[in-house]
Amino acid sequence: MNIKTIKIKPILIALLCLFHLEIFGQVSSDTLTDKNVVDKIIDVITYDAKKFTTVTYPMAGYSEQEGFSIGVMPVFTFKDKKEKEHIKRRFYRPTTLIPSVMVSTKGLFNVDASLVMFGKGRFNMYFTGIYQYVPNTFYGVNNLAPADTSQFFNRRFSSFGEVSYELTEILFIGIRYDIQQNKIEDIQGEILNDKVLGYDGGFSLGLGPIFKFDTRDDIVYPTKGSLLKVAVTTYPEFFANDYKFWHFYTEFSHFFSVKNEKNIIGLFGAFHMQNGDIPFYYLNQLGGSKRLRSIAQPNRFIDKNYYMAQVEYRRDIWWRLGAVLFAGAGNVYGSNGTNAFEEIKYTVGAGLRFQLVEDMRLNFRIDYGFGNYNQNGLWLTTREAF
């Protein structure tokens, strides 16, 4: 494994140590019915209020890009009235809030929070807010073998999300928004220069409609059902945008069990298309923790258009532990005469899961993927890839 290609997201050191205690310690299947060491420690970092429960986890990690990092991540889950009243639910759609703070030895400072909210009448909401000062690398646009790269820092504030109206239990229509202020600083290397759109950052504000068809039984960890999303976001001049463009995307996922709900197959497909004056930091990215997980640096392959497909096998092991196998393929294209079906990238890999909240399948996940073009990546984060 070439450590220089590995991208490590926040690691829950305490959990990893506890995994060691549980897996290699003298814990028999008979004792699993009792409250074990890990459950007792989780009780210490858990606060149970009348309307919500929060569990606060420490984080740490390392990557060549960011150096050694430390932080904290509380996980809030809000209690459902229907659950208390024992009302039978066809779909499990809990409200969750996950903020985090992270700093690193190479200058990273990151504060973010994601909120998924259901049950406000027929209105459902999803919001993410981020402020970060992060070291990054520019490889060029869809450059298979870059002769040079540029290092830079991106000071970014961003917030994106959607508000949707529930037409029926499975049909939603709403508005999606995206707002960003990027400032590119401390550029080292010549490939990122004033000929690259977005070289000095800028302001972007986009709005557009979104349509969703959602029959998943559980939005956190589906065992059956499907999700279809279709959206268009435009960044027009009258919103004071520094760059004028639009972004269309559609994504589809489907889930089913094999024999029982301990064995889940997930299928995912996506197509994104952009047009206009698009800054390099807004171009579609092929890699990352939710896409082709072998591509450790999301900026490694970027372009106007993007497609991918992936499949994942999810398996419960015991207690709060699970495992996955995954594979995927995709490409970015559209600039410099690039073709959609040339130089396709693929990923195969495996991962572990740890259930963060006792009564909800909200997982901390560790995924390792490898693929062609000498790509491999290790990811440690929350929520499933799709």
- How confident is the model over 218-251, as pLDDT tens digits? 988 999 999 999 999 999 999 999 999 999 999 9
Distance CA 292, CA 329 (A): 7
The conformational region for residue 86 under phi > 0 = left, psi -120 to 50 = alpha, else beta, is: left
pLDDT-based confidence at 23, cuts 50/70/90?
Answer: very low
Distance CA 180, CA 282 (A): 10
pLDDT at residue 17, as a whole number: 44
Average pLDDT in the 79-85 region? 58
If one counts every other C-beta atom within 10 angstroms of the C-beta of residue 97, the result is 17
Distance CA 336, CA 314 (A): 39
Long-range contacts of range 144-152, CB-CB < 8 Å, 24 or more positions apart? 144/343, 144/373, 146/191, 148/189, 148/190, 148/191, 149/189, 149/191, 150/187, 150/188, 150/189, 150/190, 150/191, 150/192, 151/186, 151/187, 151/188, 151/189, 152/184, 152/185, 152/186, 152/187, 152/188, 152/192
pLDDT-based confidence at 39, cuts 50/70/90?
Answer: low
Bridge partners, residue 376, by sequence: 370
Determine what percent of the chain is predicted with pLDDT higher than 70: 84
- pLDDT of residue 129 exceeding 60, the answer is yes
Average pLDDT in the 94-123 region? 89
**H or E segment to which residue 206 belongs:** strand 202-214
Cβ neighbours for 306, distance < 8 A, ≥ 6 positions apart: 270, 271, 272, 273, 284, 285, 286, 330, 331, 332
Cβ neighbours for 289, distance < 8 A, ≥ 6 positions apart: 9, 367, 379, 381, 385
CATH of region 3-382: 2.40.160.50
User: Could you identify the residue written with the tokens 């372009």?
Assistant: 303
Distance CA 269, CA 308 (A): 6
Terminal-residue alpha carbon distance, the chain: 26
Average pLDDT in the 250-270 region? 96
- pLDDT of residue 44 exceeding 80, the answer is no
Average pLDDT in the 122-135 region? 93
Average pLDDT in the 277-306 region? 92
Distance CA 306, CA 133 (A): 27
Long-range contacts of range 253-261, CB-CB < 8 Å, 24 or more positions apart? 253/222, 253/226, 253/227, 253/386, 254/225, 254/226, 254/227, 255/216, 255/222, 255/223, 255/224, 255/225, 255/226, 256/223, 256/224, 257/223, 257/224, 261/223, 261/316
How many helical (H) and strand (E) elements, i.e. helices and strands, does the chain have? 3, 19
If one counts every other C-beta atom within 10 angstroms of the C-beta of residue 322, the result is 21
Determine what percent of the chain is predicted with pLDDT higher than 90: 58
The conformational region for residue 164 under phi > 0 = left, psi -120 to 50 = alpha, else beta, is: beta
- pLDDT of residue 32 exceeding 80, the answer is no
Q: What is the mean pLDDT of the chain?
A: 85
Stretch among 76-80, 204-208, 265-269, 272-276 having the lowest mean pLDDT = 76-80
Q: At what angle do helices 13-24 and 37-44 cross, to 10 degrees?
A: 160
User: Could you identify the residue written with the tokens 């990811």?
Assistant: 379
Average pLDDT in the 327-337 region? 91
Q: Give the residue extent of every domain in the chain.
A: 3-382
Distance CA 322, CA 222 (A): 14
pLDDT at residue 121, as a whole number: 67
Cβ neighbours for 333, distance < 8 A, ≥ 6 positions apart: 142, 303, 304, 305, 339, 340, 342
